[in-house]
């Protein structure tokens, strides 16, 4: 199961100084988000210990969503050492996401 990012824990987890985080911004009512969700769960297990991979529900965590200008979902942020290095909007294949994560590690 993927990590659950929230407005409360985002700074300590996703924006860690020496780490990699992949954050999937989603909502329960979003059809394309449901396509990406199982991929994020799989990647979270595969990259355990190498990257913090998880989801942030935009309906329950509006502060982080606004801070990063997330207007469309799913949006996936790739964060390295506390800085957003890439942003992907829309659905993506597992292979595409793996390639982006591997480039950060």
- Give yes or no for a contact between 77 and 100, defined as CB atoms under 8 angstroms apart: no
Residue 30 a catalytic site member:
yes
How far is the C-alpha of 40 from the C-alpha of 53, rounded, in Å? 7
Which of the following is catalytic: 2, 21, 22, 33? 33
> Is 55 marked active-site?
no
Pick the catalytic residue: 15, 30, 35, 104? 30
Q: Check residue 90 and report its DSSP letter.
A: S
> Where are the extended beta strands (E) located within 1-105?
3-4, 20-26, 52-57, 75-80, 83-89
Catalytic machinery residues: 30, 33
């Amino acid at each position: 199961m993927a990590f659950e990012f929230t407005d409360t824990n985002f700074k300590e987890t996703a924006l860690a100084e020496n780490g990699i985080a992949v954050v999937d911004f989603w909502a329960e009512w979003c059809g394309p988000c449901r396509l990406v969700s199982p991929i994020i769960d799989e990647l979270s297990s595969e990259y355990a210990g190498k990257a913090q991979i998880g989801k942030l529900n935009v309906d329950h965590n509006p502060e982080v969503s606004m801070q990063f200008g997330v207007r469309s979902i799913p949006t996936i942020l790739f964060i390295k050492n506390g800085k957003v290095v890439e942003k992907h909007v829309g659905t993506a294949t597992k292979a595409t996401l793996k390639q982006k994560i591997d480039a950060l590690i």
